[in-house]
Structure 1
Amino acid sequence: MSQRSLVAALLLAAIAAAPADPTGWQDEVLVAAGSRVSSRTGLAISTSSGAIHVAGATSQCPQDCNFPWYCRSLDGGLSWSTAVVIAGGPIVWNDNAIALEARGGTVTALAPCQQTIYRDVSTDNGAKWQGSGSMGQGSRPALTSLFGSRYAVWDDDRYGAESTEIFFKRSPDGGSTWSPPPGQGVPPDNAMRLTYLPGRSEEADICTELPITQEAPPPLGGFIVVVWADNCPGGPSADFDLRTNWSGTGGESWFYGTSGRPVLATGGDSRYPAIDCYEAVYPWTLHLVWQEGGNSICYTRSTDRGASWDSLQWIGTGYHPDVVADQYGVHVVWWTHGMYTDVIKYRRSTDFGTNWDREVQLTSLQPSRIYSDSRWPKITADLQGRHVVFGDSREAGDALAVWYKQNPNVHRAGGGQSAGVVAAEPASVAVWPNPTSGPVFIHLSRTLGEGVSVVAFDAQGRVVKRLICSGSEARWDGRDESGRRLAAGVYYLRPEGLDSGARTQVLVLR
């Protein structure tokens, strides 16, 4: 028997002996013929309005797919649309990057081509795209959203190869037009420069946080948080550390100035950060993962918006992690070298970063996967569950074809080994400022999805206003259905048409 045949026989034996996956992850599905990925930043996933959106970028495929591409699923990931070209021109070797954000039926994509970042927007949930236009100079963009606005960060070496900096722009219309805060743009693309540090600032990620607690609200109703890797003071031998910064003014000012705040002094090389928060459970709390010292996947948590951080936690061995937080906890994915192939790994913390369930291998051995590699995972979460996309070589050779896996919203007690099921978090509404004499921002917990109506009623139980939340968010000016301003007093907001366990929020109008 040849060595290759012996390896195959051993793998098939391992498959036969392996128990069924107890964690609830479903089998992977090929996203689209021709979909390819060849780098950590070359794949993105988002969800909105009942659709799963996936986009990618690679230079390692035939010329007809050598462009940023997009496809979607409208049936929970079972089938996918044909990949279409979006956002910019042909991908070259160092342009393997894309960012994607979907909210309220508007889908925004950013992709670089030869140091120009192009934007593209769909306002009908991915059915049609407007066409690309440039919005910045640089590479490796990251996107987030808040109340219909989009916020983007990226890195660029316009000041020299060893002087890479982080830049920022915002869009008030879902990504069609972009600009810096007034008077803060720098040439050549009129972007706001976030970092003024010696050395290289790069690999930025961004998220938004809503102030569920009754703190003084920011003007736009939420906070923007940025994290990046930085090798200050620079030089070829300098290790990278992580830094973070946040803004409560829509990016006009940043709490830690132009240098940010160090996360943790690890003594090693900290790269490829990813950040998320889930403020409906733990306000002000940030969840951060990164690759440390070559091949360690690490996690830390901040409960004060980055002023301090918990001790480093080792999650696993591997490369290029991604993180998402939802009502069930914190979820981390990464890829690592298996016995014969590269595989995707996953871990979950149901208490939001204190303790962690056992490691799970998502790309389990199957006869069709012998000698195929899985890399570059991305994860997101919504009403339906956790969604992961990754590249796998079984269909594409050196450029990995894109596959999708889902973990439906069923939380199994005991790390998935028990048959017991924990009920989902009750539906809830958060409002701020509260009390208020002006407009109020409304946020639905992620368990509800999008397009849900919220009913406002007075102390006598009379309905005064119904609001449709776009992207789980809404803004109310305190007027009733006829447009008249409501009298000062106590009012109540509650999700409409949901289970009886939905929580009612008290709102005081002055």
Structure 2
Amino acid sequence: MQHSTFKHMLHVQAVHNFFPTPLLSSPGACMRWMCLLLSSILVLLPASLSHAQTCSQDIPLCTVGGWQGHADVAASTYTHGLAYSDVVHVVWEDRRADSLAPDIYYRRSLNGGYTWEPEVRLTFTGTASSPAVAASGELVHVVWEDNRAGKHEIYYARSMDCGRSWSRPVSIAPGHASSLNPDVAAVTVYSLITGSKSYVFVVWEQGSTGSREIYFARSTDGGETWSTPQCISSDPADSKDPSIAVSVVQPFPAVPPEVTVHVVWLDNRDGVYEVYYARGENAGSSWSTCTRLSYSSGNKQKPTITASGNAVHVAWADDVTGSYEIWYMRSEDNGVSWLSRVKLTSAGAAGGIARGPSMWCSGSNVHIAWYDNRDGNLEVYYMYSVDCGSTWSGEVRLTSASGTSSLPSIAATKDIFYVVWMDARSGEFDIYFKSGFHQATLEKVYMIFRENTKVVVGSWVERPNVWPAATIDTAAAALVGYSLGAYGLSSFLAVFDSDVVDPNTLSWLDSSSNLISLGGPAVSLVSYKLDGSMGISWSTPSPDVIELTVDGHTWQVTSADEGVQDYFVVYITEDSGRFILVIEGATGWGTLAGGMFLMKMLQDTPGTIAGKTLAVVKWTASTPGAVTPSDTFTVAYTRS
């Protein structure tokens, strides 16, 4: 129950519609049933994070012994039964079997990096190294350098089922010896005229040191066949360390998409290594002349490139200031012209160097990771931009374990990023993973509340009808646990509101745990404490009316609406360094419907709440007196 206005506002019948239960004929019986439900569905969570974070813990992906390194990561939004979880793909070079003859290994996660499937060995002969991975829907593409034929060539393998099974490795450029350091990009496009088409693009350096060139090959059928390799650097000087990206511009589905390939590399045609760029128009069928992007007296290392729409972003390491820092440039017209370079890092000011940038963008969100030693040890750092590179966040250190952390690779979908790197905390180099985001919004509850979470139900025994209210809110808690369980969670800690908020002073008794709170301010101390600061108020303008006001907007629920329709608020906030999700209805029906809404939200992405921190939702029952998945949920108001 949220308010005591209606004499019979809450019915345990609502709980019966979800779970078979004994007859609830008294508060004592109700309490016993509630405790049974809590213990059977929501159990103690192991000790975990001590505070809310925008990054996950470091997750070891491979610690089998030997040397593992040169990892690369990709993410795809292939729908596999969960609305929000990305599929994350990681490849790396692995020397566990032979320190002189590494193999390529692959591993995937189907829930955004929370749990991982067993690793898969992709190569079994020769020396395979420097892997790169790209993903587009169900298609996953991996390239690497391989000497199985007696000379280094670029080999390729693909999965057509999101990494479940893999093709036999093939050379995409037979006879092209001394081919090293490949990179890959992929995209699947669709138009009403041409239908669906899957492109794969690969670049690499080829030749002897001092006279290497950048070569390019493409597939227009998802990796089934490949074009004849072509040189795109076209200069007798040395060219090395290529990076590739692809962008798509398509104003309308009826218009064939404009697919552009972007490549950067280091080139010493001017006497020192500088960053050069070339653009492949019409999906790489024709190439622009090479454009020099960097002009400085410093040494440059490892350029990286990413693109989305007409925006193209490039970063590299440069020691022009006396120590290596990460520098950045961007184009707003698909690589035709470039804005001035910007120094992103400040490692030199602390006596360190910053190297090895890796970058990814999704829409206007740009992510970059690198490693530097400003704190005395090589660590992985991260920055982001939400306005297409116009402004940047501060530098965030992602790693802090003993041993060096280096050579990160980053991928992202929207503003959720995934990073892998080489890590020597065990004494040998292993592969580690971390995910994160920079804005807590409603659709991220599956990430935010994976760790250190308590589900809170009301326990204000001095208020009328509290036990029925607590029971129905517990049913909503069960829905929350079930919904998040689909994303890999197995347990929560369920508590009463008086365990986390002092009833007398309204001070926090628990300020370290993430909270998911069920129930409005007449039942939940969490709602009672937070609603005012969130711009939410409840009132009873007449005995038969409950009124909800949010940001000056008002909605009403009457006694005739009980069990038929309701309004509920769901919001996410950060308090005391941890995250809190609150679901509260005008009546208990609304809170229970809010739990159902969360389940539906995590099963089917609702665009109306994506990127929002608060939503007011109207619930309409398909069967009066019950809350079911077939009910109607209408988003009435949102707040970013």
Q: Which amino acid aligns with 1:119?
A: Y
The equivalent residue for 1:144 is 185
Letter in 1 for 2:336: A
Secondary structure (helix, strand or coil) at the match of 2:211 reads coil
Matched, 1:32 2:62: yes
Distance 2:272 2:217 in 1: 28
Aligned partners of 1:298 and 1:312 also within 8 Å: yes
Q: For 1:345 and 1:404, locate their aligned partners in 2 and report how far apart those are by CA, in whole Å.
A: 13
Q: Is the 8 A contact 1:25 1:408 kept in 2?
A: yes
Please show how residues 153-232 of structure 1 align to structure 2 within 5 Å. 153-157=203-207, 160-180=208-228, 191-212=229-250, 221-232=258-269
Is 1:46–2:75 an aligned residue pair? yes
Structure 1 position 245, deviation (Å): 1.2
TM-score (norm 1): 0.66
Aligned-residue offset at 1:22: 7.2
Task: Tell me how far 1:179 sits from its aligned partner.
Answer: 1.7
Aligned 8 A contact 2:232 2:278 in 1: no
Q: Identify which of 99, 111, 114 aligns with 2:132.
A: 99
Aligned partner of 1:255 among 288, 298, 303: 288
Separation of aligned partners in 2, 1:83 and 1:243: 36
Q: Provide the residue aligned with 1:351 in structure 2.
A: 387
1:272 is matched with 302
CA distance in 1, matches of 2:180, 2:236: 19
- Residues 1:383 and 1:171: Cα distance change in structure 2 (over 3 Å): same
Please tell me the residue identity of whatever aligns with 2:420: V
Correspondence 1:298-309 to 2 at 5 A:
298-309=327-338
State the distance in 2 between where 1:328 and 1:28 align: 27
**CA offsets 1:80-101 (integer angstroms, 9 cap, x no match):** 222221156343xxx6301111
Specify the alignment match of 1:285 in structure 2: 311
Shift of the 327–172 alpha-carbon distance from structure 1 to 2, 3 Å rule, reads: closer
Please give the root-mean-square deviation of Cα atoms over the aligned residues, in Å: 3.5
Alignment partner for residue 55 of structure 1, among 76, 91, 94? 91
How far apart are 1:340 and its partner, in Å? 4.2
Q: CA deviation at 1:314?
A: 1.2
Cα distance in 2 for partners of 1:167, 1:251 equals 12
**1:104 and 1:23, CA in 2 relative to 1: closer, same or farther beyond 3 A?**
same
274, 281, 286: which one pairs with 1:241? 274
Q: TM-score, structure 2 length as denominator?
A: 0.53
Offset of residue 36 of structure 1: 7.5
Q: Does 1:132 align with 2:165?
A: no
Provide closer, same or farther for how the CA distance between residues 270 and 131 of structure 1 changes in structure 2, counting only shifts above 3 A. same
Structure 1 residue 328, shift from structure 2 partner: 5.8
SS in 2 for 1:175: coil
Give the structure 2 partner of residue 439 of structure 1: none
Distance in 1 of aligned mates of 2:144 and 2:65: 15
2:548 maps to which residue?
Answer: none
Per-residue displacement from partner, 1:138-195 (whole Å, max 9, x unpaired)?
A: 11111111321101111111xx431100111111232232223xxxxxxxxxx11112
Match 2:425 to one of 379, 391, 394: 394
Distance 1:499 1:407, change over 3 A: farther
Q: Deviations over 1:60-85 (max 9, x none)?
A: x4429931000111232122222221
Cα distance change on mapping 1:408 and 1:161 into 2, 3 Å: closer
User: Offset at 1:221?
Assistant: 3.0
Structure 2 distance, partners of 1:202, 1:320, is 15
1:370-385 to 2 correspondence within 5 Å?
A: 371-382=402-413, 385=416
Residues 195, 388 of structure 1: CA spacing in aligned structure 2 closer, same or farther, 3 A cutoff? Answer: same
Distance in 1 between residues matched to 2:66 and 2:222, nearest whole Å: 26
TM-aligned CA deviation for residue 410 of structure 1 = 2.9
Aligned length: 374
Q: Which amino acid aligns with 1:163?
A: S
Distance between the aligned counterparts of 1:131 and 1:357, measured in 2? 43
Within 2, Cα distance between the matches of 1:231 and 1:206? 19
Return the alpha-carbon distance in structure 2 between the equivalents of residues 109 and 498 of structure 1. Answer: 43
Q: Does residue 123 in structure 1 map to residue 173 in structure 2?
A: no
**Alpha-carbon distance between aligned partners in 2 of 1:53 and 1:130, rounded to the nearest angstrom:** 16
Aligned to 1:438: none
Alpha-carbon contact 1:101-1:144 (below 8 Å) kept: yes
What is the CA–CA distance in structure 2 between the aligned matches of 1:21 and 1:346, rounded to whole Å?
A: 20
Work out whether residues 35 and 56 of structure 1, in 8 Å CA contact, stay in contact via their aligned partners in 2.
no
**More contact order relative to length (CA 8 Å, sep ≥ 6):** 2
| Secondary structure of residue in 1 paired with 2:246 | strand
Cα distance in 2 for partners of 1:52, 1:500 equals 34
- When residues 326 and 501 of structure 1 are mapped into structure 2, their CA distance, relative to the original with a 3 A threshold, is farther
What do residues 178-223 of structure 1 show as CA deviations (whole Å, max 9, x unaligned)?
Answer: 223xxxxxxxxxx111121121111111111112458x97x76311
What is the DSSP-based 3-state SS (H/G/I as helix, E as strand, rest coil) of the residue aligned with 2:335?
Answer: coil
Contact 2:265 2:275 survives alignment (8 Å):
yes
The residue type equivalent to 2:210 in the other structure is E
- Provide the C-alpha distance between the structure 2 equivalents of 1:453 and 1:156, rounded to a whole number of angstroms: 47
Q: 1:83 to 1:501 in 2, by over 3 A?
A: farther
For 1:27 and 1:277, how far apart are their aligned partners in 2? 28
Residue 101 of structure 1 aligns with an amino acid whose one-letter code is A
Q: Gapped runs of 5+ residues in structure 2?
A: 1-48, 79-85, 189-197, 348-353, 442-572, 579-600, 608-632
Q: Which runs of 5 or more residues in structure 1 are unaligned? A: 1-18, 181-190, 413-417, 422-447, 455-496, 503-510
Q: 1:321 aligns with which of 357, 361, 366?
A: 357
Q: Which has the larger helix fraction?
A: 2
